[in-house]
Amino acid sequence: MTETPPITTLADDTAYAEAVQLAVDSAAAYYADGTSTLDDDAYDRLVRGIQAYEEEHPESVLPSSPTGKVAGGAVVGDVPHTVPMLSLDNVFGAEQLADWAAGLERRLGRPVTVWSVEPKLDGLAISARYRHGRLAQLVTRGDGTAGEDVSHAIGTIVGLPDRLTDAVTVELRGEVMMTASQFEDACAKRQAHDGTTFANPRSAAAGTLRAQDRPYVCELTFFGYGVLPSPGDDSEPATRLRELPHSQVMEWVATQGVQTTAVTPVAGIVAETLERVQERVGEIAGLRATLPFGIDGIVIKCDLATDQAEAGFSSRAPRWAIAYKLPATEKITKLLRVEWNTGRTGIIAPRAVLEPVELDGSTVTYATLHNVADITRRGLMLGDSVTVYKAGDVIPRVEAPVVHLRTGDEQPIAIPQVCPSCGDAIDTSQERWRCVRGRGCRAIASITYAVGRDTLDIEGLAENRIQQMLDTGLIADFADLFFLTKEQLLGLERMGETSSDNLIAAIEQAKTRPLSRVFAALGVRGTGRSMSRRVARHFATMDAIRAADAEAIQQVEGMGPEKAPVVVDELIELAPLIDKLVRAGVNMTEPGATPPSAEPQEPSADLPLVSMSVVVTGTMTGPLAQLSRNEVNELIERAGGKASSSVSAKTSLLVAGEKAGSKRTKAESLGVRIVSPEEFAEQVNAFLTNDDANV
Ligand code: IVH
């Protein structure tokens, strides 16, 4: 599923020694507070390079090499671990997984009949020591043989109770991390305290776990993944725990009031075949982007205690478990420039230009920076090494500067004083800065958007023609188009009789578009094409939309409490434009929809896609070839389905065209039904409109 990332090639002993030092320093920072100078991929690459060099030059191996270390870590605490806290070896794809399993089965001299498959939680390993059912001590992994006492954090970790159900003496092992909302909360608290934020949930969790004298408390989350009964404890429960399969041990852990991944969508499962293991890997990978906490892979373990005992351990990892790594979603790269663009609604948005970096299957060069306040909050500077995050379909974003990688050459980011597009003043009263001319600033962009194929679809109205109309004062906004006369058009340069007639006809035709298209054409902030369809279907008429307050707008699926008031404000700002459209005779109703006050229409059960979530990917062929992606989505919704852009466990159907890539792979691993564009067209044939057929 993923390929092995390339290794760092080391030429000689000097390069090797430098690489070892870099890995040691990086691991030290990582285990101390999560602020490594290398991202996960770069670290893995480096260690594999070191390993390869050591295999070729065994005489040069340095004692400090991370390959011989128990856990690569370096922050040595003073609490010895009862049993070392080891690392896991990695595989990067199905083939390597099969090789590893085959090797293990050879060692055991029999097939492994039960595997346990769990998410690899991206946090910090911790040992929680319970005495007679009471949480007595918390110890970090440290260097794997001894860790740091962080018992001060007891009481702040969700999922790690002060008392277990039974008065047992055991050591729980698991991962401490921050969920998305805990991270947000921690950033807000730190921001209020010293004006800085955390780079990512992992480093926030690491810093929080070790912090003793912070004036604010941040909550953490624990998920258990293992138990060690006290060494030498031969009581019946301890002996039983040693003999139970891992899956049943984890069930016992949950009965003790400790959180395990069983409460999450990526719960640990047992699998009897490697095929099922691989399938579960796909499922977990597919769910990754939807989880409120980070995972960086899948851990596959022998479930049976006898298999584990016989497989044993190498110096740094158990032989009975392996980490199946998923592609990194976060990497460190350089912030080269910040570009400022005024969008079609007048919003001035900063965009980061980055040193290109591979992230979750694509090369990232640009990333959002949200707004000026965000840049200041994060203390970003030009030339900074920054963490960049991208997973699934999300737009890449710059998370934070890696402050300890600063060289002193970083420069402040210049904040524009005037609108970068027109030079007029900037309205800075809201977090998102806006040109004082609002939509007027980039009239060309908003009109081009409004007449585009997925909005009013006015054929023959290219951007240069719109610019000409703006320059000659024929139009100021897209509603003015509907009042143009043939004579006015003929007065334009390079505009003949036929083109004028055609354009007038195309504009006339655009008056009949459904409300969803007209609403989308307005370019209301916070609503794209698919939200516009939902708004139009929900309210059915423009009058109903305009009469709605924020609360009523919020009834539209996917419209949150932040967006709804923005929509209301936007509709007030857009009132003159909407009035003009009404005067022009533009259609303001959505065919087939009923206003919210009328009897609600049950979705007709005979629609072919009723209550189905459909994703379209790849190049369309057959009758769908002529449709834009938006038009295919409209078609799905006409046929009763819900169009979605990403494949998840909830997806009912994937329409996979030519060159379908990762979405197809994901759908296959999730067992989602896949059809060709031709098969799909047949299924929804009755809903292909004349319009669709004509284009
Ligand atoms: S089992 C002997 N299970 O991954 C080590 N580890 O890279 C056995 N981790 O140190 C660990 N999720 O901090 C195990 N479901 C899981 C895990 C998990 C995350 C971490 C753990 C370990 C590291 C190794």
Q: Which amino acid is at 199?
A: A
Ligand 1 atom with least separation from CA of 124 = 13
As a whole number of angstroms, the distance between CA 37 and CA 405 comes to 7
Residue nearest to atom 3 of ligand 1 (CA): 225
Which residues fall in the annotated binding site for Zn(2+)? Answer: 419, 422, 441
> Which residues are designated catalytic?
120
| pLDDT, block means (10 residues), the chain with 695 residues | 63 85 80 69 84 83 72 64 93 94 97 98 96 95 92 96 95 97 92 83 92 91 95 86 96 97 96 95 90 95 97 93 93 96 94 94 91 89 94 84 90 97 95 93 96 95 96 96 97 94 97 97 92 95 96 91 92 96 97 76 74 91 89 88 85 90 81 91 83 40
- The best mutation among 121, 172, 326 to test binding of ligand 1, ranked by most ligand atoms within 8 Å of the C-beta, falls on 121
Q: Superfamily for 442-510?
A: 5' to 3' exonuclease, C-terminal subdomain (1.10.150.20)
Class of domain 515-584: mainly alpha
Three-state DSSP at 90 gives strand
Place of tokens 């005979």: 606
Ligand 1 atom showing the smallest separation from residue 141 Cα: 10
Ligand 1 mutation target, pool 90, 202, 299, most atoms within 8 A of CB = 299
Give pLDDT, residue 670. 80
| CA 120 – ligand 1 centroid, Å | 6
CA of 260 to the centre of ligand 1 (A): 13
CATH number belonging to domain 13-74: 1.10.287
The answer to whether residues 496 and 536 touch, using CB atoms and an 8 Å cutoff, is: no
CB-count exposure of residue 289 (10 Å: 0-12, 13-18, 19+): middle
- Backbone dihedral region of 474: left (phi > 0), alpha (psi from -120 to 50 degrees) or beta? alpha
> Backbone phi, then psi, for 149, in 5-degree steps?
-80, 115
| Residue 59, C-beta contacts closer than 8 angstroms, at least 6 positions apart | none
Strands 385-389 and 330-342: antiparallel
Where in the chain are the domains? 13-74, 80-325, 330-427, 442-510, 515-584, 613-693
Between 515-522 and 529-539, two packed helices, what is the crossing angle to 10 degrees? 130
**Which pTM does this prediction carry?**
0.67
d(Cα 261, Cα 223) in Å, to the nearest integer?
6
CB neighbour burial string for 573-592, b if at least 16 within 10 angstroms, e if fewer:
ebeebbebbeeeebbbbbee
Fold of 330-427: OB fold (Dihydrolipoamide Acetyltransferase, E2P) (2.40.50)
pLDDT of residue 662: 76
**φ, ψ for residue 82, nearest 5 deg:** -65, -45
Tell how far the Cα of 86 is from the centroid of ligand 1, in angstroms: 8
Of 494, 434, 439, nearest in space to 469 by CA = 494
Instruction: Name which residue sits closest to atom 5 of ligand 1, judged by CA.
Output: 86
Q: Ligand 1 centroid to 175 CA: how many Å?
A: 8
Cβ atoms of 296 and 2 within 8 Å: the answer is: no
* Residues annotated within a binding site: 40-44, 87-88, 118, 141, 175, 301, 325, 419, 422, 441
Question: Hey, what CATH class is 80-325 in?
Answer: alpha beta
CB-defined site of ligand 1, < 6 Å: 86-88, 118, 120-121, 125, 175, 225-226, 299, 318, 321, 323
CATH, range 613-693: 3.40.50.10190
Q: Is residue 265 classed as helix, strand or coil in its secondary structure?
A: coil
Best substitution site from 124, 139, 175 to test ligand 1's pocket, by max atoms within 8 Å of Cβ? 175
State residue 652's pLDDT score: 92
- The pLDDT of residue 693 is 37
Q: What are the tokens at 18?
A: 């430098």
Count the Cβ atoms, other than its own, within 10 Å of residue 147: 26
Asked if the domains 442-510 and 515-584 are classified in one and the same CATH topology, the answer is yes
H helix intervals, 34-120: 40-56, 94-108
Q: What CA–CA distance (Å, rounded) separates 178 from 294?
A: 8
List the binding residues for NAD(+): 40-44, 87-88, 118, 141, 175, 301, 325
The ligand 1 atom nearest the CA atom of 119: 15
Span from the CA of 552 to the centroid of ligand 1 (angstroms): 47
Judge whether 66 and 72 are in contact, CB under 8 Å: yes
**Ligand 1 centre from 173 Cα, in Å?**
9
| Residue whose entry in the numeric block shows the structure tokens 């409209």 | 634
Q: What is the CA radius of gyration of the chain?
A: 30
Give the pLDDT score at 138. Answer: 97
